[in-house]
Chain A
Amino acid sequence: MIEVLIVLIVASLATSILGVFLVLRNQAMTTDAISHTILLGIVLAFFITQDIRSPLLIIGAALVGVLTVYLIQLINQTDLIKNDASIGIVFTALFALAVILISRYADHVHLDIDVVIAGEVLFAPLNRIEVFGFSIPRALWQLGILLIVNVAFVALFYKELKVSSFDPKFAYVIGFSTTLIYYMLMTLVSITAVAAFDAVGAILVINFFVAPVLTAYLIVKRLDHMIYLTALFAVLNSTLGYLIGYNLDLSMSGATASVAFIIFTIVFLFKPDGYIVLKIKKRRQRKEFMHAMILMLMNEDEHETVTPGEISRHFSLTEPETKKQLETLEVEGYVTRADDRYRLTVRGEEFTHYSRIKYGLKAH
Chain B
Amino acid sequence: MELLSSYTFLIVAIGTTILSFAAGVIGTVSVIKGQSLIGDAIGHATFPGVILAFMLIGVTDTLPLTIGAIIFGVIAFFFIQLITNHSKVTLDGALALILSSFFGFGMALKSYVQGNPGFSNTQGIDDYIFGQAAYMLRLDVWLIIIASVASLLLFLIFYQQIRIYTFDPVYSSTIGINPALVNVLVLSMTILLIAVGLKAVGAILIVNLLIAPGVIGLLWSNRFNIVLLIAGLSGAVSAFIGTYISTAYAGFATGPSIILVMSIIVFISMMFGRRGIITRKFNLRGDAT
Q: Which of B96, B115, B251, B252 contacts A249 (CB 8 A)?
A: B115
Instruction: Kindly state the separation between the CA atoms of A28 and B101 in the bound complex, as whole angstroms.
Output: 14
B224 at the interface (CB under 8 A from A): no
Question: What 0/1 readout, one digit per residue, does chain B (83-109) give for beta carbons within 8 Å of chain A?
Answer: 100111110111111111111111111
Q: Check B259–A275 contact: CB distance below 8 A.
A: no
Instruction: Kindly state the separation between the CA atoms of A29 and B110 in the bound complex, as whole angstroms.
Output: 25
Which residues of chain B are within 8 angstroms of A214 by Cβ–Cβ distance?
Answer: 89, 93-94, 97
In whole Å, how far is A121's beta carbon from the nearest beta carbon of chain B? Answer: 12
A80-B275, A114-B126 given as contacts; is B96 within 8 A of A31 (CB)? yes
Which residues of chain A are within 8 angstroms of B263 by Cβ–Cβ distance?
Answer: 89, 92-93, 96
B253 at the interface (CB under 8 A from A): yes
Instruction: Kindly state the separation between the CA atoms of A211 and B100 in the bound complex, as whole angstroms.
Output: 9
Instruction: Kindly state the separation between the CA atoms of A225 and B115 in the bound complex, as whole angstroms.
Output: 41
Of the listed stretches A255-263, A313-321, A354-362, name the one at the interface; the rest are far from the partner chain: A255-263
B260 at the interface (CB under 8 A from A): yes
Which residues of chain B are within 8 angstroms of A107 by Cβ–Cβ distance?
Answer: 251
Instruction: Kindly state the separation between the CA atoms of A200 and B190 in the bound complex, as whole angstroms.
Output: 30
Q: Check B251–A211 contact: CB distance below 8 A.
A: no
In whole Å, how far is A189's beta carbon from the nearest beta carbon of chain B? Answer: 13
Which residues of chain A are within 8 angstroms of B103 by Cβ–Cβ distance?
Answer: 203, 257
Q: Check B89–A217 contact: CB distance below 8 A.
A: yes
Which residues of chain A are within 8 angstroms of B111 by Cβ–Cβ distance?
Answer: 249-251, 254
A85-B215, A95-B204, A100-B252 given as contacts; is B34 within 8 A of A203 (CB)? no
Which residues of chain B are within 8 angstroms of A204 by Cβ–Cβ distance?
Answer: 100, 104, 107
Taking CB as reference atom, which chain B residue is nearest A119? B107
List the 9 shortest-distance A-B pairs measured between CB atoms, nearest first. A257-B104, A254-B108, A104-B251, A254-B107, A261-B101, A96-B256, A207-B100, A28-B96, A251-B111
* CB neighbors of A among B202-234 (8 A): 204-205, 207-208, 210-212, 214-215, 218-219
Which residues of chain A are within 8 angstroms of B40 by Cβ–Cβ distance?
Answer: 29, 32, 88
Which residues of chain B are within 8 angstroms of A256 by Cβ–Cβ distance?
Answer: 104
Q: Number of A residues whose C-beta is below 8 Å from B?
A: 63
Q: Which of B96, B104, B105, B277 contacts A32 (CB 8 A)?
A: B96
Q: Check A92–B208 contact: CB distance below 8 A.
A: yes
Question: What 0/1 readout, one digit per residue, does chain B (149-180) give for beta carbons within 8 Å of chain A?
Answer: 00000000000000000000000000000000
Which residues of chain A are within 8 angstroms of B266 by Cβ–Cβ distance?
Answer: 89, 93
Which residues of chain B are within 8 angstroms of A255 by Cβ–Cβ distance?
Answer: 104, 108
Q: Check A254–B215 contact: CB distance below 8 A.
A: no
Which residues of chain B are within 8 angstroms of A184 by Cβ–Cβ distance?
Answer: none
Q: Check B31–A250 contact: CB distance below 8 A.
A: no
* CB neighbors of A among B238-279 (8 A): 250-253, 255-257, 259-260, 263, 266, 270, 273, 275-277
Q: Check A103–B253 contact: CB distance below 8 A.
A: yes
A103-B251, A113-B130, A214-B93 given as contacts; is B259 within 8 A of A32 (CB)? no
In whole Å, how far is B85's beta carbon from the nearest beta carbon of chain A? Answer: 10
Which residues of chain B are within 8 angstroms of A95 by Cβ–Cβ distance?
Answer: 204-205, 256
Chain A residues within 8 Å of B, Cβ to Cβ: 23, 26-29, 31-32, 36, 75, 78, 80-85, 87-89, 92-93, 95-97, 99-100, 103-105, 107, 113-114, 117-118, 201, 203-204, 206-207, 209-211, 213-214, 217-218, 245, 248-251, 253-258, 260-261, 264, 268, 275, 278
Instruction: Kindly state the separation between the CA atoms of A211 and B219 in the bound complex, as whole angstroms.
Output: 35
Q: Check A26–B92 contact: CB distance below 8 A.
A: yes
Taking CB as reference atom, which chain B residue is nearest A114? B126
Instruction: Kindly state the separation between the CA atoms of A23 and B92 in the bound complex, as whole angstroms.
Output: 8
In whole Å, how far is B242's beta carbon from the nearest beta carbon of chain A? Answer: 10
Q: Check B99–A32 contact: CB distance below 8 A.
A: yes
Q: Check B89–A207 contact: CB distance below 8 A.
A: no
Given A26-B90, A214-B97, A268-B87, 17 additional A-B pairs, CB 8 A: A26-B93, A78-B277, A80-B270, A85-B34, A88-B36, A93-B266, A99-B255, A100-B253, A118-B107, A203-B104, A211-B100, A249-B115, A250-B111, A254-B111, A256-B104, A268-B86, A275-B87
Q: Check A254–B36 contact: CB distance below 8 A.
A: no
Instruction: Kindly state the separation between the CA atoms of A23 and B97 in the bound complex, as whole angstroms.
Output: 11
A29-B37, A31-B96, A210-B97 given as contacts; is B255 within 8 A of A251 (CB)? no
A80-B275, A89-B266, A92-B208 given as contacts; is B104 within 8 A of A258 (CB)? yes
Which residues of chain B are within 8 angstroms of A275 by Cβ–Cβ distance?
Answer: 82, 86-87
* CB neighbors of A among B41-70 (8 A): 44
A-B contact pairs, 15 of them (CB 8 A): A26-B90, A26-B93, A85-B215, A88-B36, A93-B208, A93-B260, A93-B263, A96-B255, A103-B252, A104-B252, A207-B104, A211-B100, A257-B108, A258-B105, A275-B87
B129 at the interface (CB under 8 A from A): yes
